[in-house]
Amino acid sequence: MVIFIRPRALVSKAFVTSGVCAALVAGAAAGPAHAARNAAGPPAVPSLSALSWEVMDARTGTVLAARAPHRRLPPASTLKTLFAVTVLPHLRQDAVHRASWADLAEVAEGSSEVGVAEGHRYTVADLWRGVFLSSGNDAVHTLARLNGGLSRTLAQMQATARRIGARDTQVRSPDGFDTPGQYSSAHDLALIAREGFKNPDFRRYMGTKFARFPASGGPDAYEIQNTNRLLVGSHGVEPYPGLIGVKNGYTTQAGTTLVSAATHKGRTILVTVMNPQDGDFNEVYEESRTLLDWGFATPAPQPPKQQAGPLRAAAAPATAPTHQEEAAEAPGLTRHLGAAAALLVLTCVPLIVRRRLRARRIRS
């Protein structure tokens, strides 16, 4: 008995099935490649000379990238942010104080000063502008005495650091002047600044560029300018668009330090840079600029279930993936291709079997 078959149908079915198999293999190979392209994410993290730095999304507290973010280093005047976070809520901004010798007695020699003069009257707001704009240690010590004294203020600052999770910070002075046993970290300074953002007075002072000292005027009043060059644009540094603060610092031991924040299209990036090793005094501003640019170029993270705070935030790697990390992704690709190959066999084998059976029937 001769059984006739339709060659066209057989060829067509084989063609379709082969096409499906090829598509499966191609899809399996392309799937991981597509995922790898999506996983590439933000641009490469820049290479900088600072001993320590961190980039944080201010809204979520997510650390986007960092280098040695928990390395304990002298903070210089960036520690004044912790002083402000601690003391600002305790003093009325419109309160008036007549400066005395005792206010200035413990200001270290060589300190930066705004010019608080014994016997002159200042509002608390005047003194805060002296802290944020001129980095005045004389204003810091005057406010510390108004807060109940130096010892009380230092204890409160340490307690504030612990409360917000700044566990790399040890306070020995209210102004950040080089003092044995005093240190902080890039991550802690970012946490402190982010805590300060919650206070409208903190936000106002950190972004003030110019002011009269004292604001009431008079023959002895004069203009002061914020020493943050990235904010005002001075000494060869171009101002950064959208910069809102926060605080710069310098001492012999700390080198240059800077906590800066900028807002663009509703998103705020917070950057800390500690002690760049290259360039001149302006290097801290230019490295901060580079990190701000990089931060805004990255996708905005989703709010985490637990934001940066008492538990240390896990920093994104500041270097390219290692060969071991790339190899760790290979098994995923192998599994995809293995599954596709198995499916190819299961789909194509029945076709081959049917063709052989039909061929036998024709011969018979």
**Is residue 111 among the annotated active site residues?**
no
Which of 244, 358, 339 lies closest to 24, judged by CA?
339
Q: Are 260 and 242 in contact (CB under 8 A)?
A: no
Catalytic residue among 111, 135, 173, 184: 135
Cβ neighbours of residue 98 closer than 8 Å, sequence gap 6 or more: 119, 120, 121
Look at residue 115 and give its three-state secondary structure.
Answer: coil
Residue 279: the pLDDT is: 83
Q: Which two tokens stand for residue 36?
A: 């790898």
Is 216 annotated as catalytic?
Answer: no
Rounded CA-CA distance 150/295 in Å is 38
Q: What percent of the chain has pLDDT over 90?
A: 70
Pairwise CA distance, residues 145 & 102, whole Å: 9
Q: Which of 77, 111, 184, 260 does the annotation list as catalytic?
A: 77
pLDDT in tens, 244-292: 999 999 999 999 999 999 999 999 999 999 999 998 999 999 999 999 9
* pLDDT value for 353: 43
Phi, psi for residue 222 in degrees, rounded to 5: -150, 165
The amino acid at residue 166 is A
> Is the CA virtual torsion 242, 246, 249, 253 positive or negative?
negative
Taking the CB of residue 132, how many other CB atoms lie within 10 A of it? 28
Using H for helix, E for strand and C for coil, what is the string for 13-41? HHHHHHHHHHHHHHHHHHHHHHHHHHHCC
Structure tokens at 175: 């102004």
Angle at 101 between CA 96 and CA 102, to 5 degrees: 85
Instruction: Please name the helix (run of DSSP H) or strand (run of DSSP E) that holds residue 52, with its range, or none.
Output: strand 52-57
Of the residues 80, 111, 185, 260, which is catalytic?
80
Q: What does the alpha-carbon distance between residue 57 and residue 334 come to, in Å, rounded to a whole number? A: 36
- The continuous run of DSSP H or E covering 192 comes out as helix 186-196
80 is known as an active-site residue: yes
Tens of pLDDT along the chain (364 residues) come to: 443 334 444 334 443 344 433 433 344 444 444 444 445 566 899 999 999 999 999 999 999 999 999 999 999 999 999 999 999 999 999 999 999 999 999 999 999 999 999 999 999 999 999 999 999 999 999 999 999 999 999 999 999 999 999 999 999 999 999 999 999 999 999 999 999 999 999 999 999 999 999 999 999 999 999 999 999 999 999 999 999 999 999 999 999 999 999 999 999 999 999 999 998 999 999 999 999 999 999 999 876 555 555 444 444 445 433 333 333 333 443 444 444 444 444 454 444 445 554 545 444 4
Neighbours of 219 (CB within 10 A): 4
Residue 144's φ and ψ, nearest 5 degrees, are -65, -40
Q: What is the pLDDT of residue 332?
A: 43
Any idea how long the chain is? 364
Condensed to tens digits (0 to 9), the pLDDT of residues 115-158 reads 999 999 999 999 999 999 999 999 999 999 999 999 999 999 99
The three-class DSSP label of residue 173 is coil
Buried b (16+ CB within 10 A) or exposed e, 230-269: bbbebeebebbeebbbbbbbbbeebbbbbbbbbeeeeebb
Query: Is 364 within 8 Å of 4 (Cβ atoms)?
Result: no
Distance CA 305, CA 168 (A): 23
Rg (CA), the chain: 32
- Count other C-beta atoms under 10 Å from residue 274's C-beta: 30
